[in-house]
Amino acid sequence: MNRIQALFAHKKRDILNIYFTAGYPQRDDTGTVIRSLVAAGVDLIEVGMPYSDPLADGPTIQESGTQALKNGLTLALLFEQLQAVRRETEVPLVMMGYFNQVLQYGFDRFLADCVATGIDGLILPDLPLYEYQTTYRQQVEDAGLCMSFLITPQTTPERIHLVDELSKGFIYMVSSAAITGAKQGISDEQVAYFERIAAMDLCTPRLIGFGISDHATFTKACAYASGAIIGSAYIKALTAGESVEKTTRTFVAEVKGTIV
């Protein structure tokens, strides 16, 4: 069984998914970050593939990606880094990036390398549902990878059902109309949206992302979904922190509420 599906089969709530930018702060920190996140008790890890033009991302993730590219990270090198760390951990790993990166690497080659590396899922926010359904779905599913699609407060119920059908593993529920890292706190309007989606009884579990940054927002999001995703806040912590291990331990403990 795919590690993401196995995770959601045995854990129904408070799933903590952390996004980080590969090759950041230093090129060879990818493995250290994953090891530290696993040691801190994170359930799921999104490996951000740094991109020159990340349209859905705010300045924090954008700048970390720019730095990672300056550090010399390539997709080929990233797969090598991930292969090494995969020997040590069974944590579910999701690759997140932009469609153009995969297209240039070669869609088939990318999937093959994901399988060989032990990657479990993919998030490509600018790959449209239509293109996926008509062109890429079969290959992705045959490779045993879970593709997660996004829904937003503006997504129509009809389209949410399509996302539910096409997503495997989990649905990425964008908490508000925003790029990553843009808003703080969770409003009543957002809660109404979380409740509306929760009442739809979708087949695929949901994780809430965008605007989740600390224990308060994580806990609130977890009340309406299987868990939540944190990205920019963790990158900010890494940027400000001294060592990856120590920063990660403190950050994750704070989010989980194990220290106050």
Q: Point out the residues that are catalytic.
A: 46, 57
Tokens of 180: 């990553």
Tokens of 177: 């109309």
Compose the 164-203 pattern: x for residues touching other proteins by CB under 8 A, - for all others: ----------x--xxx--x---------------------
Peptide bond just before 50 cis, omega within 30 deg: no
Task: Please report, for residues 66, 194, 235, 247, 255, the alpha-carbon distance to residue 240 in angstroms, rounded to integers and kept in the order given.
Answer: 17, 32, 9, 9, 17
Q: Report phi then psi at 240, rounded to 5.
A: -85, -25
Is 99 a binding residue for other proteins by CB under 8 A? The answer is yes
Compose the 198-237 pattern: x for residues touching other proteins by CB under 8 A, - for all others: ----------------------------------------
C-alpha span between 75 and 52 (Å, rounded): 13
Please choose, out of 8-16, 20-28, 59-67, 225-233, the segment that lies near other proteins by the rule CB under 8 A.
59-67
Is 162 a binding residue for other proteins by CB under 8 A? The answer is no
Task: Please report, for residues 74, 149, 160, 205, the alpha-carbon distance to residue 198 in angstroms, rounded to integers and kept in the order given.
Answer: 39, 16, 12, 10
Q: What's the closest the beta carbon of residue 53 comes to other proteins, in angstroms? A: 5
Is 128 a binding residue for other proteins by CB under 8 A? The answer is yes
Within 10 Å of residue 161's Cβ, how many Cβ atoms? 13
Q: What's the closest the beta carbon of residue 214 comes to other proteins, in angstroms? A: 21
Is 159 a binding residue for other proteins by CB under 8 A? The answer is yes
Q: Are 220 and 186 in contact (CB under 8 A)?
A: yes
Is 154 a binding residue for other proteins by CB under 8 A? The answer is yes
C-alpha span between 215 and 212 (Å, rounded): 9
Footprint of other proteins (CB under 8 A): 51-53, 55-56, 58-59, 62, 66, 69, 74-76, 98-105, 125-128, 130-131, 149-152, 154-156, 159, 174, 177-179, 182
